[in-house]
Amino acid sequence: MTDVTRRTAIALGGAAATTLGLAACTAAGGAGDGSGSGSVEPTKDASGTSSVAAADIPVGGSIIVQTGSNADPAIAIAQPSKGQFVAHTAVCTHQGCIVAAAGKDLQCPCHHSKFDAYTGKVVNGPASLPLDAVPVTLNGDRVEFTV
């Protein structure tokens, strides 16, 4: 039998809660319906650039993009105003849980930190550090990024 540390159990529980939370967000109101919640898978080209459809990101809202990267397993992309896109890592700076999109906010399901989806700044803790910015560009109807 493998010994599981408290930290591992909490991390696994957080991952399960995040998965369930993202599934619940998508079922209740997926990306593109104005709710600003949900999770999408990006497409990746031969150069390693990933992209999502701009239409999947609601104006005034945000989405979580599962990157598949070990360094940044997910990013949050928001559209504060029509045609303006910003992105941040979606890994909570408190203890590393993946945040969920909630309109103009990003909420951590583990300890309830809240971040501004447009700036990455902490709205309320326990997190004290902002989310790191991720550069994005609009290329036609796709929002591109590299992680």
Of 68, 65, 108, nearest to 88 by C-alpha is: 65
Counted domains in the chain: 1
Instruction: For strands 84-89 and 50-53, give the pairing.
Output: unpaired
Domain extent, residue 55, equals: 6-145
CB 91 within 8 A of CB 73: yes
pTM: 0.71
- For residue 87, which amino acid is it? A
Is residue 79 in some structural domain? yes
Please determine, for residue 57, whether its predicted confidence score (pLDDT) is greater than 50: yes
**23 domain residue, yes or no:** yes
Residue 1 lies in a domain: no
Average pLDDT over all residues of the chain: 77
pLDDT tens, 105-125? 999 999 889 999 999 999 998
The CATH number of residue 80's host domain is 2.102.10.10
Torsion of the alpha carbons at 90, 13, 33 and 87, rounded to the nearest 10: 0
